[in-house]
Amino acid sequence: MTETQPANPYGVKPYSQLRAETAARDRSLHDKVVSLEEAAARIKDGEHVAIGGCMMSRTPSALIWALVRAKRKNLTFSRSIVSSDGDIVFASGIAKKVVTSWFSQGIVWGISRVMRAWVEQGRAEFEEWSHMSMGLRYRAGAMGLPFMATRSMMGSDVGRMRVGAAKDFTCPFTGDKLLLLPALNPDVAIIHVQRCDKYGNPQIDGLPFMDHDLALAAKRVILTTERIVSNDQIRRAPDRTAFPFFTVEAVVEVPFGSAPHECYGLYEPFFTHMDLFANMTKADLDKGVADYLERFYYEPKSWTEYLERMGLANLLTAARGGESIYDD
């Protein structure tokens, strides 16, 4: 009998490798606090980075900012839905590909000019999967399975474009026609949370999105957090802990770390700043993008200076909106 390797165009990780990588990590309860720059340095050129949150919510913006400043190369990003974070990783040149279900800054700003230009001119790739398929790919990865069956994405061109990766399958029990989605086990998941302790016990308020699956699927997790709290405080409400600390390899405290996107209960999107970005990319795209990156990504000496450049009025408006969720 000759052994042939099955076609694996989307690089589903062999189970033995998945287990070995997990086994090799330090999974003890230890201090994981690092600086934003140190966290960015842990992400290497060419890696697959899964972004936590969704669209304009709990985006790990500060860590993406640090990756842009570190001039990382050939990264692949994946996320349930990307907003201006997708534009930034394309425009800055750190990404060769974004894997997602929907890509634009937000409905009110129309179709992203950056996304359009980069994709239509072949400067970078936007690989499209249905939203549930993105979720099921992470979930398969989180479950230690090589695929997940679905009843979605069949018959459509979204499915047809992914042939070779997504496979038709007949259920051995019922004979139902199904589709198998390849597991997605990112090299690293970057997730922003409201609070965690120095060991990386994350607590999330509000919408959980796909973050639990991302954390379990990824080879390693880097957390950014609005606040580092004591381990005692975590233990007082363990039901609020979103995923296991032993998935986490590094913790960065970075207030307003999702700006200009929102962090549930703390601040809403910085809408004026989102308008500014959309307007700067309107007239002369390449110049607008370069000016924006210079002003907000390369020139500031620190994340605090980045926030200063966005302006106190913007920040206060966003914070007032964020806290309004608790005043109903």
**Interatomic CA distance for residues 91 and 110, integer angstroms:** 18
Residue 221 interacts with other proteins (CB under 8 A): yes or no: no
Tokens of 170: 């007949």
Binding-site member from 197, 226, 249, 268 for other proteins (CB under 8 A): 268
Please state whether beta strands 167-170 and 177-182 pair in parallel, antiparallel, or not at all (unpaired): antiparallel
β pairing state of 220-228 and 188-196: parallel
87 binds other proteins (CB under 8 A): no
DSSP assignment of 224-235? EEEEE--HHHHH
Identify the residue among 41, 145, 158, 180 touching other proteins (CB under 8 A): 158
Nearer to other proteins, 150 or 224 (CB): 150
Closest approach of other proteins to the CB of residue 258, in Å: 11
Residue 130 interacting with other proteins (CB under 8 A) = yes
Q: Report the residue from 262, 280, 289, 303 that binds other proteins according to the rule CB under 8 A.
A: 262
Minimal distance in Å, beta carbon 179 to other proteins?
7
Based on CB atoms, which residue is closest to other proteins, 36 or 214? 214
136 binds other proteins (CB under 8 A): yes
- C-beta separation of 136 from 150 below 8 A: yes
Which range touches other proteins (CB under 8 A), out of 19-27, 55-63, 89-97, 285-293?
Answer: 55-63
Residue 237 beta carbon to other proteins: minimum distance, rounded to whole angstroms: 17
* 176 counts as binding other proteins under rule CB under 8 A: yes
**Residue 247 near residue 191, CB atoms below 8 Å:** no
d(CA 237, CA 202): 11
Determine the residue type at 19.
Answer: R
Q: Is residue 96 involved in binding other proteins (CB under 8 A)? A: no
Residue 207 is a binding residue for other proteins (CB under 8 A): yes
274 versus 293: smaller Cβ distance to other proteins = 274
Based on CB atoms, which residue is closest to other proteins, 19 or 123? 123
Q: Kindly identify the residues of this chain, within the stretch 101-120, that bind other proteins according to CB under 8 A.
A: 101-104, 106-108, 111-112, 115-116, 119-120
The two tokens of residue 283 are: 């007239």
- For the record, the structure tokens of 103 come out as 């890509």
Of 138, 60, 145, give the one whose Cα is nearest residue 101: 138
The CA distance from 91 to 101, in Å, is 19
The verdict on 85 binding other proteins (CB under 8 A) reads no
**Residues 252, 225: contact at Cβ < 8 Å?**
yes
Contact between 80 and other proteins (CB under 8 A)?
Answer: yes
* CB distance 149 to 169 below 8 Å: yes
C-alpha–C-alpha distance, residues 297 and 127, integer Å: 26
Q: Are 267 and 322 in contact (CB under 8 A)?
A: yes
Contact at 8 Å (CB) between 217 and 138? yes
Instruction: Output the CA torsion sign for 72, 75, 80, 85.
Output: positive
The site that binds other proteins (CB under 8 A) totals a number of residues, namely 63
- Using the contact rule CB under 8 A, the part of the chain among 5-13, 40-48, 151-159, 280-288 near other proteins is 151-159
Segment interacting with other proteins, rule: CB under 8 A, options 1-9, 23-31, 180-188, 207-215: 207-215
* Interacting residue ranges for other proteins, rule: CB under 8 A: 54-57, 80-81, 100-104, 106-108, 111-112, 115-116, 119-120, 126, 128-133, 135-136, 138-139, 150-159, 161, 168, 176-179, 206-213, 262, 264-265, 268-269, 322, 325, 328
